[in-house]
Amino acid sequence: MSQQAILEQGIKDAKLDISAQTQQRLLDYLALMQKWNKVHNLTAVRDADEMVILHLLDSLVVLPFIDAKHLLDVGSGAGLPGIPLAICLPDLQVTVIDSNSKKVSFMRQAKAELGIANLEVLGGRVEEIASTKKFEIIISRAFSDLSLFISLTHHLLDAQGKWLAMKGVYPEVELAELAAKTGVTASKVEVLNVPGLDAQRHLAFLPYQPVSNHSK
């Protein structure tokens, strides 16, 4: 199967509504990632077909849970899941941040080449971002353990907002440690079914709570 066919079938299996034009933009983004990957090692995944599943479909399965106007993707790397979400949801303002300068350069190139007007790319450490801007959703995909994720980003979450943590296996130990350290508890943990992927995926929902001992 071609990358296009794998993506199209995966979107159908995940019961997502993504137009053919948007699917092409997602494939253009993936092609750009493959081009840069030859020089800059953006991702350890090299196989083109695997990239469709492990990067695009793995990001797209969270689409039904994105109900916000402003989203921050922390430790975005090559732009995952932030750039696929920005491509699919043009009314969503997406900010991606990473501390790796090569990955930041790639995301800026993707924004320019693909014309992603609703994407903002930041370079640096998330804890150093000024807290004047607040986000209704802060999402991460394999960024860190939950306690560190919450503590580093707490100043950026809107009081009515939530953290979404993309995880592999059910993060039982991390959730227990988070509750013990910060008092933040998950409102729910959804099982994510990624078409073509024979591995567990979960999405933890963590509503905003004041935390007295979070990192400043």
Residue 62 contacts residue 205 (beta carbons within 8 Å): no
| DSSP line for 181-197 | HH----SEEEEP--TT-
Alpha helix (H) ranges present in 47-198?
48-51, 58-60, 82-88, 101-114, 146-153, 172-182
- CA angle (34 as vertex; 29, 37 as ends), nearest 5: 120
Confirm or deny that 62 is annotated as ligand binding: no
Residue 159 contacts residue 190 (beta carbons within 8 Å): no
H/E stretch holding 27: helix 20-40
Confirm or deny that 203 is annotated as ligand binding: no
Confirm or deny that 141 is annotated as ligand binding: yes
Binding positions: 75, 80, 126-127, 141
Which residue ranges make up the annotated binding site for S-adenosyl-L-methionine?
75, 80, 126-127, 141
